[in-house]
Structure 1
Amino acid sequence: MAHARSWTAHISALLGLSCLAGVLCFHFPELLTSQAFRQVYTEGFARSLLLGGLVSAFALGTLAILRGRDRRVALTGVGAATLAVLLGGVHIELGSIGQTPWSLGLDWFVVSLFFSALVFVPIERLLGRVPLLPLRPEWRTDLAYFFASHVGVQFILLMVTAWTSGVAALVAFPALSAAIQSLPAWLQFLLAVLCADLAQALAHRTYHRQAWLWRVHAVHHSSRHLDWLAGSRMHLLEILLTRGLVLLPLVLLGFSPGVVNAYVILVGLQAVLAHANLGLRFGWLEYVLVLPRYHHWHHARRADYTDANYAIHLPLVDMLMGTFRLPRDGSWPEEYGVMEAGSVPAGFWRQHLAPFLPRRDG
């Protein structure tokens, strides 16, 4: 019988490797940190977070080693933290940060992973619909998706911005833009959410109905376990398509930059929440906002739900499209995943290549 995994060892490894990544960000800020995200936090905050991570990685890793539990994993955490200290630790000199045409969002990945796990891991442990551990099957695959989408955030934004700006330059509605920007910010935001969700839901339904696009989108539906990390499993091509198609109407209609930025924050938060393993009932609110039970039914491995619940913000959008479905008895899906078992291969790279390879039937 296999021994239970050591939480202290795995947390030590996560923190140790994260600290090593943080130290590399201090050494190469122009190349490894996102210019947009650097404006959100201070150098002092980054150093404090790094110090806390180093101390915790050493303490938890040492404890796991002394207990004889998952020693290789624990040694990974202690070794990575040691290397981070040898490379300068919290005492690295940080000079002026120059401008580069591109950079990776390694800082965005580390901070986002840390705080997402800090919030959702205990919540899902306490309020989870099913007793699902964070180190559940295929967690490494979903962590790879989380890494790729966060580290590559600037490339994604550059391509999406180029696409939307190019179209907006050809098709502009100055009078409509002026009318929309004259509205109060809160009303602009509500209209932006509705417009974006309509665009997203229409694109989403197209992914389900067009054969080749479904092969790309099926990667997202291949998750057999839904939690806060599972929502990250999305083919990078789909990320580009969806973000471009969703932001395009907001740019064309001329919503103010602040409203667009607020929407980008909302979609990131709600995408994580919608996939989370939370067994809470929200009553009438489930018919107003897309919450976990609503979106979990979209992922249900049931033929009668393959064309339902495409919205990511407002169930109203599905009501307008005729695709709203939510059991009134409060039930949840019994199983998740694609209908054709085995049609999506396992692993990050194989899943990215699969849509471009000849499909094997039989």
Structure 2
Amino acid sequence: MCHPLRRPYLRVMLTKDARLLPHTACWFGVLSLLAVLCFHFPELLTSQEFRPVYTSGFARGLLLVGIIGAFVIGTLAVLAGQRRPIAFTGVVAATVAVLLGGSSIPLGEIEPTPWSLGVDWFILSLVFSALVFIPLERYLAHRPHPVLRRGWRTDVCYFFLSHVLVQLILIVVTTSTTTVAAAIAVDPVKELVVGLPLWLQVLLAVFVADLAQAVLHRAYHRVTSLWRFHAVHHSSRDLDWLAGSRVHLAETVLTRSIVLLPLMVLGFSTPAMNAYVIIVGLQAVVAHANIGVRFGWLEYLVVLPRYHHWHHARHVDYWDRNYAIHLPVVDMLMGSFKLPRDGSWPEEYGVLRLETVPEGIVEQHLMPFRGDRGYERHVA
């Protein structure tokens, strides 16, 4: 008699993608293990700026859910015969997390440190982004593709790198802009800006930052040496909430420095700057999301998925269009606005010459320094 979990229709009920169940168990286990390490080494592994956002009780509860999830989902995947080694990895990682103390690890006062890794930022961002966007993209996708689509491993590596190194990136960006901003800032202008109502400061900050980013973005496309870095971001062949993380670290530092500079020169208040950081983080994810909803006139007011997807289109007519990340009016002012009125979406994404971008995060980080060449293992 066939085991109940081996019946085809029950396996389909468990998951539409046979890889999703074991990989979910694996990620639950690995993230749980990383969370336990954060409790053991909070000064080294947790971001000093991000710690005040959550409580230790919340973190313990989330860790307990992760451990239980790894055991339950991993067991189901093993019984269903779905990629058992991957599912078993998650169960083993969760077991190690329990042996290291699980959710009951005592946590004393965390001493301030000059720098630390943002493993906690990575865990919470990945978990809650996945919880929000995977269901949305599952049911509202304009072009359905598996959750574990091609290139997802590379994009998870970029997601990990950008979040874990968040404080280091912030230090480099702040250091590179503070001195310049202090030298060219005009005090009367700063006093005028900081005296504006907070809501107006936020709107103005979004516009100024978007204009600075769009000008630099155009340079990325038109200057060959800069394009080699930016081509990494455009190499994604499928767009979703995770694809926006594929950005070369050098581009991340340069873009954030150029965007931060005018905001510091004009003297926006700290609350306004913090609000902008939240907005840009959310909109960058939404703009790349695989959400095929028509937003009507809003698409001409705010950058939404269809607008930015056309910027990523593997189409020569859109290679030099739609640079804004917040406001389409910025592209209208720059003469780079282009959006089909018929509501259509791109048929294909990626760089025009696919063979010029290799696969994998290491090769892609080395690519800009190797000149214009082709690769045997490329993103096609």
Scaled by the length of structure 2, the TM-score of the pair is 0.93
Contact preservation (8 Å) 1:302, 1:339: yes
Instruction: Name the SS of the counterpart of 2:231 in structure 1.
Output: helix
Amino acid at match of 1:195: V
Paired with 1:320 and 1:67, the residues of 2 have a C-alpha distance of: 56
1:199-218 matched pairs, under 5 angstroms: 199-218=212-231
Paired with 1:361 and 1:163, the residues of 2 have a C-alpha distance of: 34
Amino acid at match of 1:44: G
Aligned-pair RMSD on alpha carbons? 1.2
5+ unaligned residues in a row in structure 2: which ranges? 1-11, 376-380
2:321 is aligned with 1:308: yes
Deviation at 1:361, TM superposition (A): 6.0
Quote the residue 2:358 is aligned against. 345
Deviation at 1:5, TM superposition (A): 2.3
Paired with 2:356 and 2:215, the residues of 1 have a C-alpha distance of: 24
Deviation at 1:272, TM superposition (A): 0.4
Aligned with residue 65 of structure 1, among 70, 78, 84: 78
Amino acid at match of 1:69: Q
Contact preservation (8 Å) 2:356, 2:374: no
For residues 194-233 of structure 1, the C-alpha deviation after alignment (integer angstroms, 9 at most, x for no partner) is: 0000000000000000001000000000000000000000
Aligned with residue 255 of structure 2, among 237, 242, 245: 242
Deviation at 1:7, TM superposition (A): 2.5
Amino acid at match of 1:302: H
Percentage identity across aligned positions? 63
2:155 is aligned with 1:112: no
Contact preservation (8 Å) 1:6, 1:64: no
Quote the residue 1:259 is aligned against. 272
Deviation at 1:181, TM superposition (A): 1.1
Deviation at 1:291, TM superposition (A): 0.2
Range moving further from structure 2, 3-12 or 239-248: 3-12
2:23 is aligned with 1:13: no
Quote the residue 1:167 is aligned against. 180
For residues 44-101 of structure 1, the C-alpha deviation after alignment (integer angstroms, 9 at most, x for no partner) is: 0100100111111111101111122111111011000000000110111111111221
2:140 is aligned with 1:97: no
Range moving further from structure 2, 244-253 or 171-180: 171-180
Quote the residue 1:50 is aligned against. 63
For residues 252-291 of structure 1, the C-alpha deviation after alignment (integer angstroms, 9 at most, x for no partner) is: 0000011001101111100000000010000000000000
Contact preservation (8 Å) 1:228, 1:277: yes
Quote the residue 1:289 is aligned against. 302
Amino acid at match of 1:8: L
Aligned with residue 39 of structure 1, among 34, 46, 52: 52
Scaled by the length of structure 1, the TM-score of the pair is 0.98
Instruction: Name the SS of the counterpart of 2:241 in structure 1.
Output: coil
5+ unaligned residues in a row in structure 1: which ranges? none
Amino acid at match of 1:168: A
Contact preservation (8 Å) 1:109, 1:150: yes
1:319-334 matched pairs, under 5 angstroms: 319-334=332-347
Quote the residue 1:233 is aligned against. 246
2:92 is aligned with 1:79: yes
Contact preservation (8 Å) 1:275, 1:292: yes
Give the aligned length.
Answer: 360
Amino acid at match of 2:267: G
